[in-house]
Amino acid sequence: MNTNHKNGEVRIGFYICHCGHNIAGMVDCPAVAQFIAKLPGVAVSRDYKYMCSDPGQELIQQDIREHKLNRIVVASCSPLLHEHTFRNAVAAGGLNPFFFQMVNIREHDSWVHTDRAEATAKAKALAHAAVSRVRFHRALETTRVSINPDVLVVGGGIAGIHAALTVANSGKKVFLVERDPSIGGHMAQFDKTFPTLDCAACILTPKMSAVRSHENITLWTYSEVVKVEGYVGNYKVTVKRRPRYVNEDLCAGCMECITACVFKEGKFPDEFNAGLSKRKPIYIPFAQAVPPVVVIDPERCLQVRTGKCKKTCIEACADRHAMDFSQKEELVEIQVGNIIVATGFKLFDAKRIPQYGYGQFPNVVTALELERLVNSSGPTAGEIVLRDGRRPKSVGMILCVGSRDVKTNRWCSRTCCMHSMKLAQLVREHTDADVTVFYMDIRAPGKGYEEFYDKSLKEGIQFVRGRVAEVTDWAMAPEEEGKMVIRVEDTLAGFVRRIPVDMIVLAAGMEPQADAQAVRRMFNMSCGTEGWFLEKHPKLAPVSTFTDGVFIAGCCQGPKDIPDSVAQAGAAAAEAMALADKGYIEQEPNTAYIIEADCSGCKSCVPLCPYTAITFDEAKQKAQINGALCKGCGTCVASCPSGSIGQNLFEDEEIFSEIEGVLAYV
Amino acid sequence: MKYSYFPGCSLKGLGRSYEESLLPVMKHLGVELTELNDWNCCGATAYMSVDEGKAAVLAARNLAIAEQAGPEDLMTPCSACYLVLNKTKHNIADYPAINATVQRALGSARLAYRGSVKVRHPLDMLINDVGLDVIKEKVVRPLKGLKVAPYYGCQIVRPYATFDDAWNPTTMDRLLATLGAEVVHYPLKTKCCGGSLTGTVPEAGLRLTYILLKEAVRRGADVIATTCPLCQFNLDAYHDQINQRWGPARIATVYFTQLMGLAFGMPAEQLGLKRNFIPMKPLPAPLSKV
Amino acid sequence: MSDPKWQPRIVAFFCNWCTYTAADLAGVSRFKYASNVRVIRLMCSGRVDPQFILDALAEGADGVLIGGCHLGDCHYSEGNYKTVRRFQMLQRLLHDMGIEEQRVRLEWISASEGERVKTVINDMVEQVRALGPLNLPQHRAEWDRETAHPAETALPAEAAGGVQLAGQRAQPEVAHA
Amino acid sequence: MPDKPKIGFYWCASCGGCEEAVVDFAEDILGVIQAVDIVFWPVAMDFKKKDVEAMPDKSIAATLLNGAIRTSEQEEMARMLRRKSQYLIAYGACAQLGGIPSLANQFPREQLLRYVYEEAPTVVNEAKTRPQTASRNNGYDMTLPEFRNVVRTLDQVVDVDFYIPGCPPTPKITKAAIGALLEGKLPPKGSVLAPDVALCEQCPRKANKPADLSFTQFKRPHQTVIDPNLCMLAQGIVCMGPATRAGCEAACPGGNMPCTGCFGPTSRVQDQGAKILSSLCANLAAREEKEIRGVLAGIPDPVGTFYRYGLGKSMLRRKANMPVETAKNTP
């Protein structure tokens, strides 16, 4: 089984792709073709401008027919890009698609080398290896894995909401899991949205309630995914549902329990209002919360903490009986075929830049806090006021707080320029304060964004180009008394300025969620060095990950604004739906197998398999591999001390001949 | 509590009132300081900019001697010494080249430095080793009503913010509060005092000094407390010139250890307080008796 | 060997999910690096049979580079742990067989670390260049000069189907041009 | 009976154990002698080289040659016997794999000679005399074979038809081989005449190996009291069984000692040592590099442990960068 095919002579067709100038510019393709033509078993050896084009593929099929080829090697780009294309071409030519081997001479050669002779030599070596290897290829059948049509969406921000609705509208079941008591995410906290200045609530709330009422969506708030097992099409996911001590189905959101709570006043920082207002231990996250039911904060509620409380809330709820202190944390297991991860971002902690005085000066606020201040449903009912209640006469906005800075985060958070300009306009709208924006560059790349910048300028908002050095209350001149002074080098004027203001708004950037690493391990995704989830291909697979059936959308993949998040969410939904509608996925047949006659039953391989695909058959006294469970890592193959395990597509002799091949030519 | 003690040149010269107050205060707190035997210049001042290698060797020699002297941490009150010794310690650890130069030089004197010495500032050690509660117990004459502007200077928290925040240090604030003084909010606590520019480029250096004094006065402080001999000198010595250039900004600048001494009930003259050009304002009772 | 034209030959085994992808990224990013490394793609660094490494060296490689996902990040969750364990023993074995440890390297390079591919490869090439050629095939040839006639088995043996079996392999043909 | 097939036995670099193995046939040797003519067997019978030289080529049906090839004489004999025999059979670990003698491939020739003739504690040799390829002694020219730089397997010197593994081969597989020879029931050329499966299959302890074994430490046999029933590996004792060809019926585990690998690898494995290394190490429990190093310290001599019989046939064959010294035995 693991020896080479016995059916007659090997007739190899070799094709090297110019890829326009991408390869031909650095590799002498005809020379490689001539070199390969001399190797034993090679019947055809050609170079061609674009192998992936239709004529290129047709060329292969034609040669298979005319020259009775039974092995094909294509030297072009990365197999991760076009292996499938060419396998299909080979199959269309009437050969088993696995009589094919690809050579990566673009990403691994022409694009990374500068000496034509060296690059050509390397191409010859790699091609030689593939030609030696392909001799040993055998006909293989792909196995089909059926796809469970249900989809899990993790994260109930705008991205998660949009993805869930899109999938649900296609008639598939969706589980939407959100960590907080309500869906809505950061967008729910915003007042208006750039560049159109339409109110965030007005466009978000309908989608939120649509989620709640949608027959295909199971919404689990106050819940977290804790375990993911299985593989594409067949994921088994464990969700932890935290008790909110209120029966979601019975609660009507009348909030009488809140009024009745033994805490007469709100006492604890209100998360939704970014801590600018206080809430009780029993509360409703915000007016338009979905689900619109109260939740109890277990750290704060007397009854939960001590069991000693008058439980006035229960009285208030009366015969509705929605209060339920007997609720316990529960683990629910669900089966889904695809997963969309939309876990969003975390705001940069402005305290990490002490010279900007956040946490030291009461009137230094973050952009998100200002959002709540300008919001009519916010703590000040839309009044922009200082902590002492006065109205600010002057407001300074500092951009790139924590972004584009080697000391904190190097990346641009992409939304802060627009976000700050939006807030600047709102401040002008709500007050008569002067607004000065301190920026390094204004980045307004988007439909209607540059126009929005112009509008800001026209509305008399001051722009000072320079990285702010510090915020201080050290006054040098009378007009600075009682104000905060922004010290900055105005790089356009070319000198250091001191600008006194009443309020300072920090455009804190975006960061990966604190638990991003744990989350990505759970879903078997990769992370970029900065901690954002890594897409499979930045251009061609922007919402896919390296794990089939797991997609990403929104800011967990990188900073982006609402339009981009929604677009990505739609894309992720479409990817999941495509898989679900197809109903199955063809799996690479790279599984390992045990040659039963050869196995001595030493059991060395059994503990090595992370998927418990290897078991020991006591009756036969041999190990055996369950092909359905095997993921094809090949660890057991490398470990079998008597060489009795093979791996399709990666047989020992295939790799040995590859080694020989790459070394055969310097 | 035992420490090796590196006074540095200032504390034997211009800044001797720092040592005059530091030693009794430490003794009073039961802290044992053993002055390094045969210490030399820390390598600060012009040296660093002229020849970093030689400067490093100078500093390293002190570290080597301290290492020989024993396991105790090396306490050094002068900000410049504190920075240079720390800097050298870091450079020796981080740059093999510097380490090689240093060890070669030390070797010729049959010395070596293994990198084990911890360089500590009195503030660090008072807050973290002795503890404010212990200090509180020793306070017999709380500095009630004395408004103090805490001035740390640029060197002890930058670039190595080892025991306090680089932008808004608070150790001295907390210490002074423990002594009963009223600590005024002083946003310039780490700004430059003018350093050696006061001598070389007065119009630049003195302006910086003036800004510090002016802000302290504006904040209603009675006195500036500092940790650095050079700062103390700059803030104390140039009032006439400053007066001519920008008008009055008259306020005394003393070492935080001198204020500790007063709070511990020690007589002012024993604490070198009489050495100031600008004497501390007569203090509200009961201190005024002193 | 004092051949000025000598270039190190390094065989690399990259795991499909992290290091091979990182090498693709290096390509897409057009990072330029030394051309001495020949990459063989495996699904996981756990598939790297120590025989592959010994064979590569025996067949003329001057160095071998193994690339996998960072520990804890293995696409197959545990494969790279098997690799690092084998690697530690192999290093001792190679040392005892007179092969410098620096000729065989294990590096964790994640899919996003395209630049690291460049630095690691350049660094390793220079490291191996400094060590000079290993060239075991030539050593074997020298050893065997003392036997009157080269052993018959040193000639390529043809197996069924006209296919060379990996087991009995010819010496690699030496450089053209 | 003129047409009895002629058989030859010869030894090269070996301990003589393989010869003993033939003698171990006991009475059965008579059966063999019934069936064949032994035409060459220096250990047991008085034949001279010239007798064999006199024979026509291919006139010996089969020669069982044991021992590795270390000297010019051994090589010369091997070539001659190759010519004279229809079948040349590598008999025993040394001829097949290089055997224990091939562990000498870790050292340069000069070092070996110096140790043996000058430095070994039992040697008294002030004159530092060494055997000479040619010398003159009271009027006679004396010659000695040349001591080669490299220990070779038989098939690294001449073409070999079959291999009978073992240190030494058991009478059983030897008889089976000779039987097959006489009946002309021979497998394809190049075959090893023993089961192509690892030893565990024949091991009485197989049933007592847990299926979830992971190693926390390695011990050497003298460092512990070995449980007579439990799998050696389960006791942390390095056993080559999983990487070694069956055929000996687990003689060593049966005698409460671990397998040391004398039957060599299966046909599917090229480098026995690399494979056992791969298997053992992959199954360590340790995760941190330091821990791993600690556990592996329990195997102080990887080459001697994993290649005790197979260094000559291993992928690396000989320690790299070792000198090839002038083909003279003079210092």
* Partner-chain residue, chosen from C18, C31, C55, that has the shortest CB–CB distance to A656: C55
Report CB contact under 8 Å: C35, A121.
yes
pLDDT attached to residue C158:
36
* Partner-chain residue, chosen from C20, C43, C59, that has the shortest CB–CB distance to A632: C43
Which is nearest to A59 in space by CA: A81, A100, A92?
Answer: A92
What is each CA distance from A192 to A414, A422, A506, in whole angstroms? 17, 8, 18
Distance from the C98 Cα atom to the nearest Cα atom in chain A, whole angstroms? 21
Strand order in the sheet with A234-241: A223-231, A234-241, A330-336
User: Per-residue pLDDT tens for A100-143?
Assistant: 999 999 999 999 999 999 999 999 999 999 999 999 999 999 98
Which is nearest to A638 in space by CA: A623, A650, A624?
Answer: A650
CA distance B243 to B214: 11
What chain C holds in terms of domains, given with CATH numbers, is 10-134 (3.40.50)
Q: Does the structure show a pLDDT above 90 at C160? A: no
Report CB contact under 8 Å: B188, A474.
yes
Q: Does the structure show a pLDDT above 50 at C153? A: no
Q: Which of D289, D293, D315 to mutate to test the interface with C (most CBs of C within 10 A)?
A: D315
Residue in B closest to A354 by C-alpha: B167
What is each CA distance from A186 to A176, A287, A345, A559, D5, in whole angstroms? 17, 15, 9, 13, 93
> Exposed/middle/buried for C77, CB within 10 Å: 0-12, 13-18, 19+?
middle
Residue in A closest to C166 by C-alpha: A653
Report CB contact under 8 Å: C24, A80.
yes
User: Per-residue pLDDT tens for D221-269?
Assistant: 999 999 999 999 999 999 999 999 999 999 999 999 999 999 999 999 9
* Partner-chain residue, chosen from C7, C31, C112, that has the shortest CB–CB distance to A529: C112
Average pLDDT over chain A, rounded to whole? 94
Report CB contact under 8 Å: A607, D214.
yes
Report CB contact under 8 Å: D159, C153.
yes
DSSP assignment of A579-590 equals HHHH-EEEEP--
User: Per-residue pLDDT tens for D5-15?
Assistant: 999 999 999 99
Please enumerate in sequence order all residues whose Cβ is within 8 A of that of D129, keeping only pairs 6 or more positions apart, or say none. D117
Subunits with 3+ Cβ pairs within 8 Å of B are: A
**Token pair belonging to B158:** 């930058």
Report CB contact under 8 Å: D324, C89.
no
What is each CA distance from B55 to A71, B59, B66, in whole angstroms? 72, 6, 17
Element spanning A12, H or E? strand A12-17
What is each CA distance from B38 to A337, B66, B92, in whole angstroms? 77, 10, 22
Which is nearest to C35 in space by CA: A77, A22, A132, A666?
Answer: A666
What is each CA distance from C50 to A637, C98, C127, in whole angstroms? 11, 17, 22
pLDDT attached to residue D326:
67
pLDDT attached to residue D182:
87
pLDDT attached to residue C173:
35
Do the beta carbons of residue A99 and residue A71 sit within 8 Å? yes
Report CB contact under 8 Å: C81, D287.
yes
For residues D171, D172, D174, D176, the Cα torsion angle rounded to the nearest 10 degrees is 150
Compute how many other C-beta atoms are within 10 angstroms of the C-beta atom of residue D315.
19
Distance from the D229 Cα atom to the nearest Cα atom in chain A, whole angstroms? 15
Do the beta carbons of residue A501 and residue A464 sit within 8 Å? no
Please enumerate in sequence order all residues whose Cβ is within 8 A of that of A586, keeping only pairs 6 or more positions apart, or say none. A142, A143, A144
**Token pair belonging to A665:** 């030519």
Point out the least confidently predicted range of A21-25, A83-87, A441-445, C142-146.
C142-146
Which is nearest to B209 in space by CA: B247, B229, B238?
Answer: B238
Residue in C closest to A658 by C-alpha: C40
Q: Which of C89, C91, C102, C142 to mutate to test the interface with D (most CBs of D within 10 A)?
A: C89
* Partner-chain residue, chosen from C89, C154, C166, that has the shortest CB–CB distance to D277: C89
Subunits with 3+ Cβ pairs within 8 Å of D are: A, C
pLDDT-based confidence at residue A521 (cuts at 50, 70, 90) = confident
DSSP at A106: I
User: Per-residue pLDDT tens for A574-583?
Assistant: 999 999 999 9
Distance from the D207 Cα atom to the nearest Cα atom in chain A, whole angstroms? 9
Do the beta carbons of residue D66 and residue D88 sit within 8 Å? no
Q: Which of residues 101-120 of B touch A (CB under 8 A)?
A: none
pLDDT attached to residue D22:
85
Report CB contact under 8 Å: A526, C49.
no
Q: Does the structure show a pLDDT above 90 at B225? A: yes
DSSP at D131: -
User: Per-residue pLDDT tens for A534-546?
Assistant: 998 888 899 999 8
> Exposed/middle/buried for D203, CB within 10 Å: 0-12, 13-18, 19+?
buried
Residue in A closest to C36 by C-alpha: A122
Report CB contact under 8 Å: B166, A354.
yes
Extended strands (E) in D23-92: 37-40, 60-66, 69-71, 85-91
Which of chain D's residues have a Cβ under 8 Å away from the Cβ of C81? 287
Which of chain A's residues have a Cβ under 8 Å away from the Cβ of B215? 474
User: Per-residue pLDDT tens for C33-57?
Assistant: 999 999 999 999 999 999 999 999 9
What is each CA distance from B67 to B75, B108, B128, B163, in whole angstroms? 13, 17, 22, 21
- What are the backbone dihedrals phi and psi of residue A22, each rounded to the nearest 5 degrees, phi first? -55, -40
* Partner-chain residue, chosen from C26, C47, C56, that has the shortest CB–CB distance to A635: C47
Report CB contact under 8 Å: D319, C152.
no
Which of chain A's residues have a Cβ under 8 Å away from the Cβ of B167? 354-355, 470
Which is nearest to A111 in space by CA: A81, A72, A89?
Answer: A81
DSSP at D206: G
Report CB contact under 8 Å: A643, D268.
yes
pLDDT above 90: percentage of residues in chain A: 91
Q: Are strands D6-11 and D60-66 parallel, antiparallel or unpaired?
A: parallel
Is the CB of residue D196 less than 8 Å away from at least one CB of chain A? yes
Which of chain D's residues have a Cβ under 8 Å away from the Cβ of A601? 200-201, 206
Residue in B closest to A471 by C-alpha: B187
User: Per-residue pLDDT tens for C66-84?
Assistant: 999 999 888 888 899 999 9
R_g of chain D computed on alpha carbons = 22
Is the CB of residue B215 less than 8 Å away from at least one CB of chain A? yes
Report CB contact under 8 Å: A526, C18.
yes
CA distance B174 to B158: 19
Is the CB of residue C143 less than 8 Å away from at least one CB of chain D? yes
Distance from the B218 Cα atom to the nearest Cα atom in chain A, whole angstroms? 9
Q: How far is CA A20 from the centre of its chain?
A: 33
What is each CA distance from C39 to A63, A72, A105, A661, in whole angstroms? 29, 20, 11, 11
pLDDT above 70: percentage of residues in chain D: 98
Q: Is A35 helix (H, G, I), strand (E, B) or coil?
A: helix
pLDDT-based confidence at residue B96 (cuts at 50, 70, 90) = confident
Residue in C closest to D150 by C-alpha: C143
Assembly ipTM: 0.72
Do the beta carbons of residue A552 and residue A341 sit within 8 Å? yes
Angle, vertex CA A635, rays to CA A630 and CA A640, nearest 5: 105
User: Per-residue pLDDT tens for B165-190?
Assistant: 888 899 999 999 999 999 999 999 99
Long-range contacts of B200-205 (CB under 8 A, 24+ apart): B202/B241, B203/B245, B205/B234
Is the CB of residue D242 less than 8 Å away from at least one CB of chain A? yes
Distance from the A601 Cα atom to the nearest Cα atom in chain D, whole angstroms? 6
Tell me the count of C-D CB pairs closer than 8 A. 124
Do the beta carbons of residue D84 and residue D60 sit within 8 Å? yes
Residue indicated by tokens 């069991």: A307
User: Per-residue pLDDT tens for A622-649?
Assistant: 999 998 889 999 999 999 999 999 999 9
Which is nearest to C116 in space by CA: C52, C46, C69, C57?
Answer: C69
Element spanning A223, H or E? strand A223-231
Is the CB of residue B188 less than 8 Å away from at least one CB of chain A? yes
pLDDT attached to residue A666:
59
Report CB contact under 8 Å: B168, A474.
no
pLDDT-based confidence at residue A5 (cuts at 50, 70, 90) = very low
Q: Is B146 helix (H, G, I), strand (E, B) or coil?
A: coil
CATH topology assigned to domain D6-100+153-183: Rossmann fold (3.40.50)
Do the beta carbons of residue A475 and residue B218 sit within 8 Å? yes
Q: Is A366 helix (H, G, I), strand (E, B) or coil?
A: strand
Distance from the D69 Cα atom to the nearest Cα atom in chain C, whole angstroms? 10
Distance from the D15 Cα atom to the nearest Cα atom in chain C, whole angstroms? 23
Distance from the C76 Cα atom to the nearest Cα atom in chain A, whole angstroms? 7
Do the beta carbons of residue A62 and residue A27 sit within 8 Å? no
Which of chain B's residues have a Cβ under 8 Å away from the Cβ of A355? 167
Domain parsing of chain D, residue ranges? 6-100+153-183, 101-148, 199-313
Is the CB of residue B211 less than 8 Å away from at least one CB of chain A? yes
pLDDT attached to residue C159:
34
Please enumerate in sequence order all residues whose Cβ is within 8 A of that of B146, keeping only pairs 6 or more positions apart, or say none. B180, B181, B182, B222, B223, B259, B283, B284, B287
Which of chain A's residues have a Cβ under 8 Å away from the Cβ of C51? 652
Report CB contact under 8 Å: D293, C88.
yes
Q: Does the structure show a pLDDT above 60 at C166? A: no
pLDDT attached to residue C175:
36
User: Per-residue pLDDT tens for A602-617?
Assistant: 999 999 998 889 999 9
Q: Does the structure show a pLDDT above 90 at D272? A: yes
B to C contact (≥3 Cβ pairs closer than 8 Å): no
Exposure string for D166-192, b = 16+ CB within 10 A, e = fewer:
bbbbbbebbebbbeebbeeeeeeebeb
* Partner-chain residue, chosen from B167, B211, B218, that has the shortest CB–CB distance to A354: B167
Which amino acid is it at D80?
Answer: M
The pTM (predicted TM-score) of the whole model is 0.76
CA distance A108 to C26: 8
| Average pLDDT of the residues in B90-116 | 92
For residues D275, D278, D280, D283, the Cα torsion angle rounded to the nearest 10 degrees is -140
R_g of chain B computed on alpha carbons = 19
Average pLDDT over chain B, rounded to whole? 92
